[in-house]
């Protein structure tokens, strides 16, 4: 392989999915994984199989269904974790087990309540055990950047001796500066010369806003794998953002000399899909994928760009897939046109799914003159959201006036297929319908966040609602799309409620409480 080729390891579905409020179901994870494969990432970290039966199922489904990238499963340095990860990734074309244990004294003493000797023994056993299942094993010394470099080097030597093929050095708490991080990796190369024979990887968190800068410093120090997530989602302030590191390496390739295998034209679509399915909005001024990332507001800038784009633009919006999507359908477009438009967007929709998509498309086309590629994307991702054990919105009435409080009456189908009806007089129409859903389902869910965005511009734009709510200590998100914003909001609320209820059931059914199974990087 080209010595300057940087492996892109996407952890949207593992570290990204650990962000508070995100609860993707298996269908949604699969859809994201397929899109990551289209984007051209090299490795997909599909989840943490021992964390819950849902995580295990999702990793296994991705391993079976998604072709191209290596599929990795995360495991603590425990035999049971490694075995569960091995089982989950077994059917992948190229399976990987990623195992980790902390090397910082802060973690060893306070979290693991163990000793350095014990950490060495656990690392040795975990890598050896993982190698008995797969030939591709990644090892991470968690919290490495706050650890003693000599001790971390000893542990890495052990991991290499046992056959690790990728060594990842996490800046778990986002504490390092680029110079420190590069120096830390440089020192590891000196202490463990065998690192030159495997892939060195970087995994940087963004607590001080340095995740991408640190990842670049790591690559310049010799690392050839970058762990990152779409839209930079992840624990706390998140992980290095995939789109930023990829476009940094692409835009400055003449000076930096590195390349990735990513098809950058798929970036915008991947970002929209992840934002939509996770319910995590992208800030308008976010580099690369923010709504304003290529917008010019000041007169001087606009004047310059009109004369020559290079005056104020270092990248072309089409290279990240933000423009040039001129596909448009209208109410006279037929099933065949819809199917080929969806195919062009990368969605293979047939049979019953095509019938449902066509019905939704017709409803929208009746209310909206032009249905664009972005509308279709929103519609198809919206259709993915419903699965078993879900509530569904049957119908609703909302009375709105500025002379009396709004009243909502709503009917919801329970997972058992029973129609339940509830009423509420609220502070506003959205409040009224949310509380009417609580009344219908007899659930005491509490709204934590609510947002409504337009999918495209224009008066007849589709509204996309996002809800985060809390039920019995579990928070979950849901989204809904409609030309009617009250309907989109109600749909989002009902889905968030279904997701929260699934989480409550999972925690009740799990032998070990969920928080203990989640690593706290």
Q: How far is the CB of 379 from ligand KIV (least distance, A)?
A: 34
Nearer to ligand KIV, 140 or 474 (CB): 140
Q: Which does 140 bind (CB under 5 to 8 A by kind): Zn ion, ligand KIV, none?
A: ligand KIV
Q: Examine residue 17 and tell whether it contacts Zn ion (CB under 5 A).
A: no
Give 505-510's long-range contacts (Cβ < 8 A, gap of 24+). 505/389, 506/52, 506/53, 506/54, 507/474, 510/52, 510/53
DSSP 214: H
Stretch binding Zn ion (CB under 5 A), from 10-18, 45-53, 79-87, 290-298:
10-18
Residues that bind ligand KIV (CB under 6 A): 15, 100, 140, 142, 170, 172, 203, 205, 519, 521
Q: Examine residue 15 and tell whether it contacts Zn ion (CB under 5 A).
A: yes
How many whole angstroms separate alpha carbon 189 and alpha carbon 198? Answer: 11
The β-bridge partners of 462 are none
Cβ-closest position to ligand KIV = 521
Nearer to ligand KIV, 69 or 170 (CB): 170
> Residues 385 to 444: which contact Zn ion by CB under 5 A?
none
Full DSSP string of 225-263: EEEEBGGG-SSTT-BPBHHHHHHHHHHTHHHH--B----
Q: Examine residue 174 and tell whether it contacts Zn ion (CB under 5 A).
A: no
Q: Which does 503 bind (CB under 5 to 8 A by kind): ligand KIV, Zn ion, none?
A: none
Nearer to Zn ion, 185 or 371 (CB): 185
Nearer to Zn ion, 168 or 482 (CB): 168
Q: Which does 142 bind (CB under 5 to 8 A by kind): Zn ion, ligand KIV, none?
A: ligand KIV
Cβ-closest position to Zn ion = 521
* Choice from 49, 73, 232, 521 touching Zn ion (CB under 5 A): 521
Nearer to Zn ion, 406 or 521 (CB): 521
Asked if residue 370 lies in contact with residue 362, where contact means CB atoms within 8 angstroms, the answer is: no
Q: How far is the CB of 360 from ligand KIV (least distance, A)?
A: 38
Q: How far is the CB of 277 from ligand KIV (least distance, A)?
A: 21
Q: How far is the CB of 57 from ligand KIV (least distance, A)?
A: 21
Nearer to ligand KIV, 238 or 422 (CB): 238
Q: What φ, ψ does residue 73 adopt, rounded to 5°?
A: -120, 140
Give 278-281's long-range contacts (Cβ < 8 A, gap of 24+). 278/16, 278/17, 278/19, 278/22, 278/24, 278/233, 278/477, 279/21, 279/22, 279/466, 279/467, 279/468, 279/477, 279/478, 279/479, 280/19, 280/21, 280/22, 280/231, 280/233, 281/451, 281/453, 281/466
Question: Among 48, 47, 23, 19, which Cα is nearest to 33's?
Answer: 47
How many whole angstroms separate alpha carbon 393 and alpha carbon 482? Answer: 13
Stretch binding Zn ion (CB under 5 A), from 25-33, 249-257, 368-376, 513-521:
513-521
How many whole angstroms separate alpha carbon 476 and alpha carbon 53? Answer: 17
**Residue 464 CA to its chain's centroid (Å):** 18
Binding site for Zn ion (CB under 5 A): 15, 521
């Amino acid at each position: 392989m080209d010595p300057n080729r940087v492996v892109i390891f996407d952890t949207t579905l593992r570290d990204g999915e650990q962000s508070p409020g995100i609860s993707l179901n298996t269908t949604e994870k699969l859809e994201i994984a397929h899109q990551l494969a289209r984007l051209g990432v090299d490795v997909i970290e599909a989840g943490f199989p021992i964390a819950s039966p849902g995580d295990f199922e999702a990793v296994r489904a991705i391993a079976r269904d998604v072709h191209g990238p290596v599929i990795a499963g995360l495991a603590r340095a425990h035999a049971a974790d490694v075995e569960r990860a091995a089982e989950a990734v077994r059917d992948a074309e190229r399976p990987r087990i990623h195992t980790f244990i902390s090397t910082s004294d802060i973690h060893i003493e306070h979290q693991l309540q163990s000793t350095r000797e014990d950490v060495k023994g656990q690392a040795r056993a975990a890598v050896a055990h993982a190698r008995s299942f797969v030939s591709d094993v990644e090892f991470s010394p968690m919290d490495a950047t706050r650890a003693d470099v000599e001790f971390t080097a000893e542990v890495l030597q052990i991991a290499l001796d046992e056959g690790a093929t990728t060594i990842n050095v996490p800046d778990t708490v986002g504490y390092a500066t680029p110079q420190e991080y590069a120096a830390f990796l440089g020192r590891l190369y000196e202490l463990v010369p065998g690192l030159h024979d495997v892939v060195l990887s970087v995994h940087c968190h963004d607590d001080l806003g340095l995740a991408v800068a640190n990842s670049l410093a790591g690559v310049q120090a010799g690392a050839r794998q970058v762990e990152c997530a779409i839209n930079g989602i992840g624990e706390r302030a998140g992980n290095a953002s995939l789109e930023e590191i990829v476009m940094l390496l692409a835009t400055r390739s003449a000076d930096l000399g590195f390349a990735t295998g990513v098809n950058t034209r798929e970036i915008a679509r991947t970002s929209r899909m992840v934002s939509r399915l996770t319910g995590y909005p992208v800030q308008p001024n976010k580099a690369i994928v923010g709504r304003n990332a290529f917008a010019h507001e000041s007169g001087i800038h606009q004047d310059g760009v009109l004369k020559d784009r290079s005056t104020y633009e270092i990248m072309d919006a089409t290279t990240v897939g933000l423009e040039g999507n001129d596909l448009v359908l209208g109410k006279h477009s037929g099933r065949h046109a819809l199917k080929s438009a969806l195919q062009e967007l990368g969605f293979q929709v047939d049979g019953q799914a095509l019938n449902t998509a066509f019905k939704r498309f017709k409803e929208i086309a009746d209310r909206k003159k032009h249905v664009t590629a972005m509308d279709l994307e929103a519609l198809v991702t919206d259709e993915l959201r419903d699965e078993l054990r879900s509530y569904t919105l049957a119908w609703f009435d909302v009375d709105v006036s500025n002379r009396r409080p709004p009243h909502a009456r709503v009917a919801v189908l329970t997972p058992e297929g029973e129609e339940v009806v509830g009423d509420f007089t609220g502070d506003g129409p959205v409040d009224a319908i949310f509380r009417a859903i609580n009344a219908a389902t007899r659930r005491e869910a509490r709204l934590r966040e609510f947002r409504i965005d337009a999918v495209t511009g224009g008066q007849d734009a589709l509204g996309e609602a996002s809800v985060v709510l809390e039920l019995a200590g579990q928070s979950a998100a849901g989204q809904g799309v409609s030309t009617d914003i009250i309907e989109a909001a109600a749909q989002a609320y009902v889905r968030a409620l279904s997701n929260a209820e699934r989480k409550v059931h999972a925690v009740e059914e799990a032998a070990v409480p969920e928080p203990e199974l989640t690593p706290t990087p």
